[in-house]
């Protein structure tokens, strides 16, 4: 059996989290059922499928798209998506002339109600360091080549506004219905690190 | 503060390491950590800006060497102690209990 | 603080809580104004990134009134003020080798800005 210096935190991260959870349960600061419900909400009910619905609706309904681009929060709420980390939304549109890319250089701000929880790379140092200073190199690592005639706009989420990219509707999708269009929309296309293609 | 968290424009951080078919959580402790933070935030134990600042105050080398939810763990432990919701001795006792329970499990 | 029930916690997260503050505060700037990010170096919390300090940009949009993190992170008041989306050219911040068309937008509080 290893001897522990028990005034230091356990080096095993899982043990240290378990210790904190036990303490907060014992003190009545949290309830076990509440913790389970929170995990379930973000693991099963909220994710990029929500944002994909918003995008497909905007592609097929010009009036909705206009509302979405002028005042995103109520337009997104029309489809039932609202909540923590999406209280004040801004949607930016990709066009043949403009490509948008989202980042949070200071922490990891991300629009949870429409995209779910962020992937590890979005929260990690390389992306946060480089997205503002060399976005085209970052995009190239994602396999996205943006022409010199296109303006790259990077949005650094430094305040409480949360951003989502409205990607361009791919060519060749004229015959698809809304559900088929939704299925084309990827998480990364709504961050700005992917372009979409018809399948 | 001019801290390590303020990463915009820094060099030397390496390539983007994007994972294919990434799960929402990578381990059970990440699920628990996520929920502990949100449950204590939602009950008003601290403000969002206080939570961010507690992450920013991590030792810089440790900040870079630890994952996102480890940042959350450091921040939450520190904030709950600073706000008097948890006494430092209570946290140490909880670590000791958890370590002893793990030792007992290992010895069994 | 007492524990929330599962139902209350989920309802709270699903509803969200906007950080907007419903108070009349005069805006120091309007869309199109030329601004310069202040060169401040507080030891405490701030949401003004280093890379943009001292750089010149343009107000793109006024997002309304929010509390100031520099105050709220330290037990201070809300210090309500306008937050703007400010556009900076990549060349202004990263130099002549940056692509000429590229730009970025940073959300900034009145306290982070001076007229240019």
Q: Could you give the domains of chain A?
A: 13-44 (no CATH), 47-191 (3.90.330.10)
Question: Does ipTM surpass 0.90 in this model?
Answer: yes
CA A37/CA A42 separation, integer angstroms = 9
Sort out which chain A residues have CB atoms less than 8 A from C102's CB and list them: 135-136, 151-154
Contact B10 A47 (CB under 8 A): no
Sort out which chain A residues have CB atoms less than 8 A from B102's CB and list them: 10, 12, 15
A167 φ/ψ angles, rounded to the nearest 5 degrees: -70, 165
CA B57/CA B75 separation, integer angstroms = 8
Residue C65 has pLDDT above 80, yes or no: yes
Q: Calculate how close chain B gets to A48, using CA atoms only, in Å.
A: 11
Would you give per-residue pLDDT tens digits along chain B (108 residues)? 999 999 999 999 999 999 999 999 999 999 999 999 999 999 999 999 999 999 999 999 999 999 999 999 999 999 999 999 999 899 999 999 999 998 888 876
- Best mutation target, A23, A123, A161, to test chain B (most B CBs within 10 A): A23
Helix (H) or strand (E) holding A165: strand A162-166
- Best mutation target, C49, C82, C104, C112, to test chain A (most A CBs within 10 A): C104
Mention every residue, 6+ apart, whose C-beta is less than 8 A from residue A71.
none
Neighbour-count burial for C8-39, b at 16+ CB within 10 Å, e otherwise: ebbebbbebeebbeeeeeeebbeeebebbbee
Residue A7 has pLDDT above 80, yes or no: no
- CB of C99 less than 8 A from some CB of A: yes
Neighbouring CB atoms inside 10 A of A38's CB total: 26
Contact C50 B85 (CB under 8 A): no
- CB of A161 less than 8 A from some CB of C: yes
CA angle C39, A155, A85 (to 5 degrees): 100
Residue C8 has pLDDT above 80, yes or no: yes
pLDDT of residue C1: 84
- CB of C10 less than 8 A from some CB of A: yes
Average pLDDT estimate for A108-118: 98
Indicate the residue of C8, C45, C49 with minimum beta-carbon distance to B52. Answer: C45
Residue A119 C-alpha from the chain's centroid: 8
pLDDT of residue A199: 74
Mention every residue, 6+ apart, whose C-beta is less than 8 A from residue A137.
A130
Name which of A106, A115, A135, A118 is nearest A190 in CA terms: A115
Average pLDDT estimate for A21-25: 97
Sort out which chain B residues have CB atoms less than 8 A from C1's CB and list them: 40, 43-45, 85
What Å distances lie between residue B5 and B43, C43, C70, CA to CA?
26, 13, 15
CB A29 within 8 A of CB C3: yes
Residue A1 has pLDDT above 70, yes or no: no
pLDDT digits (tens, 9 = 90+) for A82-105: 999 999 999 999 999 999 999 999
CA A162/CA A82 separation, integer angstroms = 12
What's the CATH code, domain B28-107?
A: 1.10.472.20
Neighbours of chain A (3+ CB pairs under 8 A): B, C
- Return the DSSP state at C20: B
- Would you please indicate which residues of A are annotated as catalytic (active-site) residues? 104, 107-109
- Best mutation target, C5, C9, C68, C80, to test chain B (most B CBs within 10 A): C9
Specify which residues C84 forms β-bridges with.
C62, C108
pLDDT of residue A6: 53
CB A196 within 8 A of CB A168: yes
Contact A155 C109 (CB under 8 A): no
pLDDT of residue B108: 67
Q: Which residue has the higher pLDDT, A76 or A3?
A: A76
pLDDT digits (tens, 9 = 90+) for A142-185: 999 999 999 999 999 999 999 999 999 999 999 999 999 999 99
Q: Could you give the domains of chain C?
A: 19-115 (2.30.30.50)
Contact A31 C49 (CB under 8 A): no
Q: Calculate how close chain A gets to B98, using CA atoms only, in Å.
A: 5
Please give the residue of chain B at the shortest CA–CA distance from C75: B50
pLDDT of residue A3: 46
Q: Residue A6 has which token pair?
A: 């028990």
Chain A, window 114-173: residues with a beta carbon less than 8 angstroms from a chain B beta carbon: 116-117, 119-121, 123-130, 132-133, 138, 141-142, 156
Q: Following DSSP, what letter does each residue of A56-93 receive, concatenated?
A: HHHHH-HHHHHHHHHSHHHHHHHTT---TT-SSEEEEE
Please, which pLDDT band fits residue A2 given cuts at 50, 70 and 90? very low
Indicate the residue of B1, B9, B40 with minimum beta-carbon distance to C45. Answer: B1
Please give the residue of chain A at the shortest CA–CA distance from C11: A83
Please, which pLDDT band fits residue C104 given cuts at 50, 70 and 90? very high
């Amino acid at each position: 059996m290893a001897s522990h210096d028990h005034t230091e935190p356990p080096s095993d991260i899982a043990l240290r989290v378990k210790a904190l959870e036990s303490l907060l349960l014992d003190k009545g600061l949290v309830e076990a059922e509440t913790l389970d419900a929170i995990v379930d909400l973000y693991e099963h009910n909220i994710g990029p499928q929500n944002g994909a619905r918003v995008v497909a609706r905007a592609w097929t309904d010009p009036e909705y798209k206009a509302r979405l681009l002028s005042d995103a929060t109520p337009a997104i709420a029309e489809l039932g998506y609202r909540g923590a980390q999406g209280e004040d939304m801004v949607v930016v549109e990709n066009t043949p002339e403009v490509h948008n890319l989202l980042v949070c250089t200071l922490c990891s701000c991300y629009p949870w109600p429409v995209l779910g929880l962020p992937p590890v790379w979005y929260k990690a140092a390389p992306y946060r360091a480089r997205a503002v200073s060399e976005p085209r190199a970052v995009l190239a690592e994602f396999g996205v080549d943006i022409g010199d005639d296109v303006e790259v706009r990077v949005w650094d989420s430094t305040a409480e506004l949360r951003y989502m990219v409205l990607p361009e509707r791919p060519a060749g999708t004229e015959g698809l219905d809304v559900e088929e269009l939704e299925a084309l929309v990827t998480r990364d296309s709504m961050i700005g690190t992917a372009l979409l293609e018809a399948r | 503060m001019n801290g390590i968290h303020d990463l915009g424009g820094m060099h030397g951080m390496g390539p983007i390491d994007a994972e294919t078919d990434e799960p929402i959580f990578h381990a059970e402790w990440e699920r628990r950590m996520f929920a502990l933070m949100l449950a204590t935030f939602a009950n008003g134990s601290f403000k969002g800006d206080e939570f961010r600042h507690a992450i920013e105050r991590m030792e810089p080398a440790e900040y870079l060497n630890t994952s996102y939810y480890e940042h959350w763990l450091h921040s939450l432990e520190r904030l709950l102690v600073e706000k008097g919701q948890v006494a430092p001795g209570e946290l140490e006792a909880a670590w000791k209990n958890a370590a002893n329970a793990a030792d007992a499990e290992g010895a069994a | 603080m007492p524990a929330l029930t599962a139902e209350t916690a989920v309802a709270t997260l699903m509803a969200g809580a906007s950080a907007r503050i419903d108070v009349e505060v005069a805006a120091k700037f309007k869309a199109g104004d030329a601004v310069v990010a202040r060169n401040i170096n507080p030891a405490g919390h701030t949401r003004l990134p280093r890379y943009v300090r001292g750089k010149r940009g343009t107000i793109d949009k006024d997002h309304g009134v929010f509390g100031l993190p520099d105050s709220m992170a330290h037990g201070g008041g809300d210090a309500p003020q306008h937050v703007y989306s400010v556009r900076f050219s990549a060349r202004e911040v990263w130099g002549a080798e940056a692509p000429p068309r590229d730009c970025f937008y940073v959300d900034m509080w009145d306290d982070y800005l001076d007229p240019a």
